[in-house]
């Protein structure tokens, strides 16, 4: 299977998603549309991963709109798709739902709580990395999957093929360090009130990889 990854900033890469891709013997292609303007075609995409970034789906940029054209084509084909943060927002924006300011800016580690058992392997609570101040609306056809104390719409799954998380399951420890040293100024104003040092000193829970893999397995397994 060819897994195409859309990366939107140098410091938010696929992380543990790449581990899942390689563990299953799939092939990964990483695109940087914000820099090079290149996107895969729907015909060469067996699965699409849409990563986070500092931009908003509401920004008036041609490559952001072109991403949504691709997303719509893949939705029409029932192609497996996973979005993280901005990526999840792009999916819901494509479906016609608004992306708005969240009730609170969340940057740092905070638990999310499972709201559905549609993916049975997911635990009731996970401590995950947040790096956002906007949020998506849950599409009518989707199931709310996770919520946090501050923001209800933290994750969704739809039609056994599409999932989006407002937070980040994918970072490994090296990825967290990369995010903090390059984008540490973004921490200011977070409702979580964590310093860069506190974020760096929090170990990445092993359960996050297990949960991420369970979601990706769910999206790529015939229902």
Structure tokens at 1: 């299977």
Segment 91-150, tens digit of pLDDT:
999 999 999 999 999 999 999 999 999 999 999 999 999 999 999 999 999 999 999 999
| H helix runs in the chain, sequence order | 16-23, 33-36, 62-77, 86-94, 173-183, 196-201, 206-219
Whole-Å CA distances, 177 to 32, 180, 200: 21, 5, 6
What is the reported pLDDT for 222? 76
- What whole-number distance in Å separates Cα of residue 127 and Cα of residue 192? 13
Question: Which strands form 142-147's sheet, in the order they lie side by side?
Answer: 27-31, 2-6, 47-50, 81-84, 162-165, 155-158, 142-147, 99-114, 125-136
Segment 62-84, tens digit of pLDDT:
999 999 999 999 999 999 999 99
The chain-wide mean pLDDT, for the chain, equals 97
**What phi and psi, each to the nearest 5 degrees, are found at residue 111?**
-70, 145
> Does the domain formed by 2-219 have CATH 3.40.50.880?
yes
pLDDT grade for 156, boundaries at 50, 70 and 90? very high
Report percent pLDDT > 90 for the chain: 99
Whether pLDDT at 181 is above 90: yes
Contacts of 169 (CB under 8 A, 6+ apart): 16, 84, 128, 208, 209, 211, 212, 215
85: left (phi over 0), alpha (psi -120 to 50) or beta: left
138 DSSP β-pair partners: none
- What whole-number distance in Å separates Cα of residue 124 and Cα of residue 121? 10
**What phi and psi, each to the nearest 5 degrees, are found at residue 103?**
-60, -25
- For the whole prediction, is pTM greater than 0.75? yes
**Could you state, in order of their start, the residue ranges of all structural domains in the chain?**
2-219
Whether pLDDT at 223 is above 90: no
Cα-Cα-Cα-Cα torsion 171, 173, 179, 182, nearest 10 degrees, comes to: -150
Contacts of 167 (CB under 8 A, 6+ apart): 84, 85, 106, 112, 128, 129, 130, 131, 132, 146, 148, 154, 155
């Amino acid at each position: 299977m060819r897994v195409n990854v859309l990366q939107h900033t140098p410091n938010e890469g696929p992380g543990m998603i790449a581990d899942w891709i390689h563990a299953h013997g799939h092939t990964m292609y990483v695109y940087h549309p914000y820099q090079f303007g290149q996107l895969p075609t729907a015909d060469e995409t067996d699965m699409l991963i849409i990563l986070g970034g500092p931009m908003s789906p509401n920004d008036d940029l041609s490559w952001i709109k072109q991403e949504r054209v691709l997303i719509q084509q893949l939705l029409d084909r029932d192609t497996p798709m996973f979005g993280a943060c901005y990526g999840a927002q792009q999916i819901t924006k494509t479906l016609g739902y608004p992306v708005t300011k969240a009730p609170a800016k969340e940057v740092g580690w905070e638990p999310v709580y499972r709201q559905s058992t549609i993916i049975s392997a997911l635990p009731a609570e996970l401590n995950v990395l947040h790096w956002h101040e906007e949020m998506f609306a849950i599409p009518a056809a989707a199931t709310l999957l996770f919520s946090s104390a501050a923001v209800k719409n933290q994750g969704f799954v739809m039609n056994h093929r599409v999932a989006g998380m407002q937070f980040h399951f994918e970072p490994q420890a090296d990825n967290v360090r990369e995010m903090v040293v390059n984008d540490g100024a973004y921490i200011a104003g977070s409702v979580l009130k964590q310093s860069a040092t506190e974020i760096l000193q929090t170990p990445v829970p092993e359960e996050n990889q297990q949960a991420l893999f369970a979601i990706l397995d769910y999206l790529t397994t015939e229902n």
